[in-house]
Chains A and B, each alone.
Chain A
């Protein structure tokens, strides 16, 4: 079942922070985060697994709340290069199939 992402769009100024949420009504085994620039393929950011730790690198990090089946992506001190559409992808427990959310469009302005 497709996860629900919020918000649908965010406009930031350089240096501001943002949080993107991804939730599912099903029990999840893994949550992926990808970023896609216009006209390009999605690029991997990070994976969170059930029972795993919060992940992060540089100023982008993510968490996975297993009780709520919700993941959040945190972007701090945003840069122009962060602009793009962010997708979460989820795999439900006991299923091999993988579903992407509808995306959150992030626009970072100078």
Chain B
């Protein structure tokens, strides 16, 4: 099992550019999450999904979009990148919501200049 994988590991964007952060899990988990972590801070939930075709906003969804067409994949789309989106992005998955542990991917470090 690879667990939760994320690509790319690093990315530099210019203001106004767009990109998609990829997240894939091979544990057949229903729940998937996207978090951002600013330097020295905790993780903030951007979006989450309870299954294929079902997504919902988290604490800080503005500037992002998600889709969940399969159980395995949960991509995060950034439209019109802004410097405030400079952060480390973590994808996570769990079997059945918050009664189970979340498994985190290695993260994507994004810089917007």
Contact = CB atoms under 8 A, between A and B. Distances in A.
Do A and B form a real pair? yes
Interface of A: 2, 29-30, 32, 34, 40-44, 47, 49, 87, 89, 91, 96-103
A91 B42 contact: no
Interface residues of B, number: 24
Nearest to B102: A44
Nearest to A103: B42
Interface in B39-75: 41-45, 48, 50, 56, 58-59
B41 A102 contact: yes
Contacts of A41: 90, 104-107
B98 interface: yes
- Going nearest first, the 8 A-B pairs with the smallest beta carbon separation are A41-B104, A44-B101, A91-B98, A100-B43, A102-B42, A100-B42, A30-B98, A103-B42
A47 B99 contact: yes
A60 to B, nearest CB: 14
